[in-house]
Amino acid sequence: AQSVTQPDIHITVSEGASLELRCNYSYGATPYLFWYVQSPGQGLQLLLKYFSGDTLVQGIKGFEAEFKRSQSSFNLRKPSVHWSDAAEYFCAWYSSASKIIFGSGTRLSIRP
């Protein structure tokens, strides 16, 4: 079945350190992929999206993601995290009829 998988449930990084959150997809063709962020007590906000073309996608808040077909991955990265980046991050893919399917999420904690 087509899906996205986020293998890490919870990650803790130190403030100022680099970050990489993993997302693997299972899909025959090139999927449309998204990363959303959910701050505590809030709804979700789109960080970035990939449709086609350049495999390195820039998003808001200094985040980027790289689409790697050979690894079926769409990992989210940030070179230096801030305490305000503590949140839950969801990888998602476009299914059909404007439906988006979300992964199970990765909770990011920041160590002072």
Residues in touch with another protein (CB under 8 A): 9, 32, 41-46, 49, 51, 90, 94, 97-105
Q: How far is the CB of 44 from another protein (least distance, A)?
A: 4
Q: Please say which residue, 86 or 101, places its beta carbon nearer to another protein.
A: 101
3-state secondary structure 61-78: HHCEEEEEHHHCEEEEEE
Q: Are 4 and 89 in contact (CB under 8 A)?
A: no
Q: Please say which residue, 85 or 103, places its beta carbon nearer to another protein.
A: 103
Q: How far is the CB of 108 from another protein (least distance, A)?
A: 15
Q: How far is the CB of 98 from another protein (least distance, A)?
A: 5
- Three-state DSSP state, 60: helix
How far separated are the first and last CA of the chain, in Å rounded?
40
